[in-house]
């Protein structure tokens, strides 16, 4: 008798790579141009990333594994895909400032800090 290893695929795992999850995908129609549309853009991206089960890459839930972890390569591959999804939805001016980034969460936080400004006159 031969012993065969049975592998199961967990489609709910954040590190699951679906065949449609490619770097060229444009997840949302709204292109981030700055303060004026950050709210709509970020909400659209959050919905799309949640649908793809990849929100953990921007909210620090799916942390980068340590060097030597068997999941490090998977994490880095998916982080790169999430980064590309973000880059596909920002203006050319913003793209040039994030193209050399290596961590999707850092880019997300940076964009939030730069553009998620509350307009005092809107509140009033």
Please report whether residue 112 resides in a domain: yes
Q: Is residue 104 part of a domain?
A: yes
pLDDT of 35 reads 94
pLDDT of residue 25: 82
User: Which range marks the domain in which residue 57 is found?
Assistant: 35-117
Q: What is the pLDDT along the chain (124 residues), one digit of tens a residue?
A: 445 555 566 777 777 777 777 788 888 988 999 999 999 999 999 999 999 999 999 998 888 999 999 889 999 999 999 999 999 999 999 999 999 999 999 999 999 999 998 654 444 4
The answer to whether position 14 is within a domain reads no
In a domain, 29, yes or no: no
Question: Which DSSP letter does residue 39 get?
Answer: H
Q: Structural domain tally of the chain?
A: 1
Q: Does 57 reside within a domain?
A: yes
Taking Cα atoms as reference points, which of 66, 67, 45 lies closest to residue 54? 45
Domain-embedded: residue 4: no
Quick check: is 122 in a domain? no
Judge whether 78 lies within some domain: yes
């Amino acid at each position: 008798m031969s012993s065969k290893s049975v592998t199961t695929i967990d489609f709910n795992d954040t590190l699951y790579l679906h065949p449609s999850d490619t770097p060229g995908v444009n997840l949302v129609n709204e292109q981030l141009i700055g303060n004026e549309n950050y709210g709509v853009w970020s909400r659209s991206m959050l919905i799309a990333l949640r649908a793809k089960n990849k929100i953990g890459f921007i909210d620090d839930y799916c942390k980068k594994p340590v060097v030597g972890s068997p999941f490090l390569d998977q994490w880095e591959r998916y982080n790169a895909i999430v980064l590309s999804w973000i880059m596909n939805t920002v203006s050319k001016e913003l793209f040039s400032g994030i193209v050399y980034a290596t961590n999707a969460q850092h880019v997300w936080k940076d964009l939030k800090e730069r553009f998620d400004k509350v307009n005092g006159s809107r509140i009033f």
